[in-house]
C-alpha cells in the first residue's frame, strides 16, 4: 500500500482531494494532517471518517517532531494544501501567513530532506515518470501579481506578489525551488486560479455572496466590481493535482486554470438572478488595498504534457454549486455559528 500525507485536508480544496484520493486510489493509505484553524472543518469529511484507509491527525505542519514522526513512517507522497488562504485576513494580520505558509512549508521540506533519499540535482527526461517519493506544493496564480487588460500568466511569468497572502505563497514556492535545485528532492509545484464549489468557507467571494443573498443581506462588492478572476471548479483542480503528482517532472511548475475569466460583478449578478433576489442588494464598498486587477492562467503546459482540460464549464459548475449551497444550508449555518469547531471534540475526544 502507498502512503500519502495530505496536509490541510480539512479545508475546502484539501477535503475534496482527500475524498478523490480515497475514491481513485483505493490502495493508498491517506493521512490528513490539519491544524483545524477556523478554516478546517471535519464535518466536511464525515462521509470518509470510517474508511479504514483514512486517518486524521490534528497538528501543525510547522511542528517539527510531529512532521518527522510522519515521515519516519515512510511516506510515498506528500501534497501540501495547508495554508492561511484568505487575502483579506492577510491584510489584517500578515504574521500567521508567513509562519504557516513559509515556515510550515520549510518544515515539511526539511523533513523530506532528512527522510527521503537525496540525489544529485537532476531533471529526468520530459514525460518520464519518476517513482515515489514525491512532494507537491499547492500554490496559486496570485504569486504572479496582477495582469492588465490582456495577456496570461505562464509558468515563466516573474513572481510579483502584491498581498501578504500571495507573498507568503511565493516565499514557499521559492523554497520548493531551492530545495529542488540544491538538494535534488523530488518536488513539484502547481499554481491554480480561483476555485469554487461545495464546502468553500463563506468568507470567499462566491459562498459569501450566496450566503448573504439567501439571508437578504447586502452583497459587498469591492471597488468598481470589475476585477477579473479566472474560475475553476474544485474537482478539476484536484484532478490536475493528482496528474501532476504522479506524472509531473520534479522541479517543474504547472499552471492550472479554466479560461473562465469573469468580472466579480458578473458573478454577483448571476448569483442574484439565479436565486431570484434583487440587484438592490449589491453594495459597492471601499476597495481592498493592493487589490489585483486581473488574473488569467495559460494552462497550455497542462494540456500539452498531460492532455488535461477542465471538465466543468463555468455555467454548469456555478449552477451545481448554487444548488449545493441551497441544499446544504445547515453546513453553512454551522460554519457561521462556529458550531463546526465543536465537531472534533465530539468526534475525537478520548480516541
- What backbone torsions phi and psi does residue 118 show, to the nearest 5 degrees? -95, 125
> 296 and 228 in contact (C-beta within 8 Å)?
yes
Q: Using CB distances below 5 to 8 A depending on partner kind, what does residue 192 bind out of ligand TYD, ligand NAD, none?
A: ligand NAD
Cβ 288 to ligand TYD, closest distance in Å?
A: 6
Active site residue 165: yes
Q: SS3 letters for 48-79?
A: HCCCCCEEEEECCCCCHHHHHHHHHCCCCEEE
Binding to ligand NAD (CB under 6 A) within 75-134 occurs at 81-83, 85, 100, 104
User: Does residue 260 touch ligand TYD according to CB under 6 A?
Assistant: no
Q: Is 204 in the site for ligand TYD (CB under 6 A)?
A: yes
Rounded Cα distance, 272 and 11, in Å:
26
On whether the CB atoms of residues 79 and 241 are closer than 8 A, the answer is: yes
User: For ligand TYD, which residue of 7, 37, 235, 264 counts as binding (CB under 6 A)?
Assistant: 264
What's the closest the beta carbon of residue 291 comes to ligand TYD, in angstroms? Answer: 6
Distance CA 73, CA 3 (A): 9
Question: Could you say which of 141, 242, 292, 298 is catalytic?
Answer: 141
Let me know: does 250 contact 117? Beta carbons within 8 Å. Answer: no
Q: Which three cell numbers stand for residue 118?
A: 537525496
Is there binding between residue 221 and ligand TYD (CB under 6 A)?
A: yes
10 burial via Cβ count (<10 Å: 0-12, 13-18, 19+): buried
**Per rule CB under 6 A, is residue 243 in the interface with ligand NAD?**
no
Could you say whether residue 164 binds ligand NAD (CB under 6 A)? no
For ligand TYD, which residue of 107, 190, 227, 235 counts as binding (CB under 6 A)? 227
Q: Which stretch binds ligand TYD (CB under 6 A): 58-66, 215-223, 275-283, 324-332?
A: 215-223
Q: Which residues bind ligand TYD (CB under 6 A)?
A: 87, 194, 204-205, 208, 220-222, 227, 229, 264, 288
Which residues form the catalytic set?
141-142, 165
Amino acid at each position: 500500500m502507498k502512503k500519502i500525507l495530505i496536509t490541510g485536508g480539512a479545508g475546502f480544496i484539501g477535503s475534496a482531494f482527500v475524498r478523490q484520493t480515497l475514491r481513485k486510489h483505493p490502495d493508498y493509505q491517506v493521512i490528513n494532517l490539519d491544524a483545524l484553524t477556523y478554516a478546517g472543518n471535519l464535518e466536511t469529511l464525515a462521509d470518509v471518517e470510517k474508511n479504514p484507509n483514512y486517518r486524521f491527525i490534528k497538528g501543525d505542519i510547522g511542528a517539527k517532531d510531529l512532521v518527522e514522526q510522519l515521515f519516519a513512517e515512510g511516506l510515498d507522497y506528500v501534497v501540501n494544501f495547508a495554508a492561511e488562504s484568505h487575502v483579506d485576513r492577510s491584510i489584517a494580520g500578515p504574521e500567521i501567513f508567513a509562519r504557516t505558509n513559509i515556515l510550515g512549508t520549510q518544515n515539511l521540506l526539511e523533513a523530506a530532506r532528512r527522510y527521503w533519499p537525496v540525489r544529485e540535482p537532476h531533471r529526468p527526461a520530459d514525460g518520464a515518470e519518476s517513482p515515489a517519493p514525491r512532494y507537491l506544493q499547492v500554490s496559486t496564480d496570485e504569486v504572479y501579481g496582477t495582469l492588465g487588460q490582456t495577456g496570461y500568466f505562464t509558468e515563466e511569468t516573474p513572481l510579483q506578489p502584491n498581498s501578504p497572502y500571495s507573498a507568503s505563497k511565493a516565499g514557499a514556492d521559492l523554497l520548493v525551488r531551492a530545495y529542488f535545485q540544491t538538494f535534488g528532492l523530488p518536488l513539484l509545484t502547481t499554481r491554480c486560479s480561483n476555485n469554487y464549489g461545495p464546502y468553500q468557507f463563506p468568507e470567499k467571494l462566491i459562498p459569501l455572496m450566496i450566503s448573504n443573498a439567501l439571508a437578504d443581506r447586502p452583497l459587498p462588492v469591492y471597488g468598481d466590481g470589475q476585477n477579473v478572476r479566472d474560475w475553476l471548479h474544485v474537482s478539476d483542480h484536484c484532478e490536475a493535482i493528482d496528474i501532476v503528482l504522479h506524472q509531473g517532472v520534479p522541479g517543474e511548475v504547472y499552471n492550472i486554470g479554466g479560461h473562465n475569466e469573469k468580472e466579480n460583478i458578473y458573478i454577483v449578478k448571476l448569483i442574484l438572478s439565479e436565486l431570484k433576489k434583487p440587484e438592490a442588494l449589491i453594495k459597492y464598498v471601499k476597495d481592498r488595498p493592493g487589490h489585483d486587477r486581473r488574473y488569467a492562467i495559460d494552462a497550455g503546459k497542462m494540456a500539452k504534457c498531460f492532455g488535461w482540460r477542465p471538465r466543468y464549464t463555468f455555467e454548469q459548475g456555478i449552477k451545481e454549486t448554487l444548488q449545493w449551497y441551497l441544499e446544504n444550508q445547515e453546513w453553512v449555518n454551522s460554519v457561521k455559528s462556529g458550531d463546526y469547531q465543536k465537531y472534533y471534540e465530539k468526534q475525537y475526544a478520548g480516541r
